[in-house]
Amino acid sequence: MAPRRRSGLPAGRHRLALAAAVPLMVVGALLAGCSDPDGPTVEAADPAGQADFRFVIAAGTGEAMDRGELVEILPPELEARVGEVLELVNEDDRGHIVGPFFVGAGETLRQEFASPGEYQGICTVHPSGEFTLTVL
């Protein structure tokens, strides 16, 4: 029988559960720590509509960053208006954080800005590592 940890899970499963939980806790903490309660709210945008702001994270972006290349896909600051739509297309094989948004590998995120406000947060596709979104 496999040794048991305090969690009651066998040793190998304990490591697997921890490996799965830690990234979720880190992303949650980053988003919670950087969130602005008075920041802009967003709604799911019409998938067939035109985006006012469209950014594509190209395949291989994560690998380029691993090699130390500077990657600048978005500006460090974006000013938008209520009703405008942001589209983030992630063609990379890993997920990326852009301010309050997470876009998974191979996914497209479309958000419509529903209220004014400002948000400052992490950006994994800009050399500064930061992103400020201002919605007027």
pLDDT digits (tens, 9 = 90+) for 51-102: 999 999 999 999 999 999 998 999 999 999 999 999 999 999 999 999 999 9
Hey, what domains does the chain have and what are their CATH numbers?
1-34 (no CATH), 38-135 (2.60.40)
**What does the alpha-carbon distance between residue 24 and residue 108 come to, in Å, rounded to a whole number?**
20
The pLDDT, as a whole number, for residue 46 is: 59
Which tokens belong to 82? 């209520």
**What does the alpha-carbon distance between residue 97 and residue 121 come to, in Å, rounded to a whole number?**
9
Over 50: is that where the pLDDT of 28 sits? no
Distance of CA 98 to the CA centre of its chain: 5
How far apart are the two ends of the chain, measured CA to CA in Å? Answer: 61
Q: CA nearest 39: which of 95, 87, 94, 101?
A: 101
Q: Which run of H or of E encompasses 66?
A: helix 61-66
